[in-house]
Every structure is written in structure tokens, then in C-alpha cells.
Amino acid sequence: MSVACRFLSSALLHRATACLSMTGCRNSCSNNRQMHWIRQIGTVANAPAVCARPVNLTYDVFDGKGDKTPLVFLHGLFGSKSNFQSIAKSLVQRTGRKVLTVDARNHGKSTHSPMITYEAMTNDLTQLLAQLRIGKCILIGHSMGGKVAMTTALTQPNLVERLVVVDISPAPTTPLTNFPAYIQAMKDVKVPNDVPRSTARRLAEDQLRKHVKERSVRQFLLTNLIEEDGQYSWRVNLEAIGNHLKDIMSFPAFNTSYEGPTLFLGGTNSAYISSEDYPEIQRLFPCADIQYIPDASHWIHADKPLDFISSLVAFLQS
């Protein structure tokens, strides 16, 4: 399948100057209905954390009345399922679909493990979906979660009806990140016990500022600061993430492809999906379309939530 040049005149989106053709991809119908949502919280009990065996994942379900294929959101590095809470509620109302948001291993309230690779995270997700009796889903993954979603689609295509990859590509991302500095800065933070949470956040941010210059990034990292019995700590497993950062920044090698409808959604102010990535995207995802949301950074869903939701709804209806 050749690379086709095309543009979208919508005020919300403009596509890449070189986009992948959607020819031959499956179509689906979707009716926009107003639905209520019911928030459920649960943890699936899985195998112990040994090698790449599944671990317990914490999840939220936002349940619509429709019986269409559910949406499953996977967050990025240092994120959590709460990153997509408002997005999930809106999509239930817009589409009537059940929406599942998941904490990755070593993130949020999910189980910690010394291993964090895409094989391991894909096994976690597969086990979770099996436990919840979800035989097919629409995977939506941001950054690290996008790589988990791609890995799942490439290894278990029958499980993925459609795929959305948010501001990441199947290419190494190491040159684009300052994550080693972020990890060290977080490890170096010292907060006294039994101080108010507002004081703890201020002290932690002051200490992060030296190595994390962007305020938005500091605020994002601080979402991981938790208090238990008067003591403050990071809920992410910094040791495991640091030990496997090379794995997280890379992407497994595949000789297979995922033939289902796929959307790569990038931000125009981000460098995570570049034209240099298009050939590999086309090789692995021949039914992929690449779109960019104007004035959005790497955190598209936070910068432009309405445009992000509109893009997802349009893709589901295509």
C-alpha cells in the first residue's frame, strides 16, 4: 500500500502531509446517543510478578448502555488511569460504549514488579481482558501505553478491533526524552513526615525544579506523590522503571503486521511522530491513518480534550 498525500479541512484537525491510505480497512457504524455512566472500581487477581507473568492491574469501568465493542485506555510513563477519567465519561455519553481505563504495572495502584517490558505489560493486559471476559476491544494508548497497544495488536490481532496510538510511533524515543533526569530527580526528593499535603507538594516541586524545568511536567510527576500514615512516597516503581528505561524507550522488533483500522494521533507541537516514522508505521500497520491536532503537545488529551474526543469519535464512526 502506497503513501498517499491528503489534507483534512476540519478546523479541529489537519493531517500529516504524507498520510497512510485507509483503503481496504473495515468500516463500522456508530450512533451518537446520550448515555449515563456508572463508575466501577476493581482489581483482577492474577499470577505473582515473576518474569513476564501477569500482575494485578487496577482499573476503572465507565459503563454505558450500549453493547458495542468497549474502549480500553492505556496511559503513558508516570501516568495513571485517572489521566483519562473525564475523557472516558465523555466518550460513554457520546458513543454509549463501555470504557475501561487501566493502571499499568508499577503505576497507579497496580502491582509493582521488578520487570517492566512491553511483553510483560501486554501479558498483564491480556490477562485482565480475559478475566473481565472482554474478547475484543478498541485499544487507545498514549506514549508508553501506545506501545503496549501496538504490541498487543501485533501479537494478538483478534483481540483488537481497532487501534488508536496517541503521540508515539514504533520507533525508539530515547533522543526525545529527559526521563533519566526525571527519575533521578524524583529519587532525590526528600519530604518531612506529617506535613500537610499542600506543603509536601510545594517542597517536592521546589526540589524537582532544578532538573525538571517545565512546570507542566513537574505537575504531572507530582500526581505520583502519595501519603500513607504521614509518610510521603512515590507510587510509581522508580527502581524498576530506571532499570528498564531502555526497554521502555525502545520498541520490540516485529515481522508481522496488524491489518485492522488504525489511527496515529499526534500533536503539532510534539516530535514523537515524525515523517521519518511513516515507513515503519506503514509496514506494521498498513491500514493506518496519521492525523495531527494543532497546538497540542505530547499530552494531547490534556491540551486539547475536545479535539481529542472528536477525533476518536470520528475514527469510531469511519
One domain for residues 149 and 260: yes
Position 137 pLDDT exceeds 70: yes
Catalytic residue flag (residue 298)? yes
One domain for residues 213 and 149: no
One domain for residues 165 and 118: yes
Burial of 17 (0-12, 13-18, 19+ CB in 10 A): exposed
Distance of alpha carbon 241 from alpha carbon 245, whole angstroms? 6
Confidence category of residue 172, pLDDT binned at 50, 70, 90: confident
One domain for residues 134 and 100: yes
In a domain, 129, yes or no: yes
**pTM to 2 decimals?**
0.84
Quote the domain boundaries for residue 215: 177-235
**How many domains does the chain divide into?**
2
Closest C-alpha among 58, 81, 109, 51 to residue 235: 109
One domain for residues 290 and 220: no
Tell me what pLDDT residue 65 has.
78
Query: What are the pLDDT digits (tens) for 27-67?
Result: 333 333 222 233 333 333 333 334 568 999 999 999 877 78
Confidence category of residue 83, pLDDT binned at 50, 70, 90: very high
Catalytic residue, chosen from 143, 169, 270, 311, is 143
Q: What percent of the chain clears pLDDT 90, i.e. is strictly above it?
A: 76
One domain for residues 271 and 140: yes
One domain for residues 116 and 264: yes
Query: What are the pLDDT digits (tens) for 200-258?
Result: 999 999 999 989 999 999 999 999 999 998 899 999 999 999 999 999 999 999 999 99
Q: Which residue has the cell 492474577?
A: 46
One domain for residues 21 and 126: yes
Q: Which of 185, 206, 235 is the last residue of a domain?
A: 235
Burial of 91 (0-12, 13-18, 19+ CB in 10 A): buried
Query: What are the pLDDT digits (tens) for 272-301?
Result: 999 999 999 999 999 999 999 999 999 999
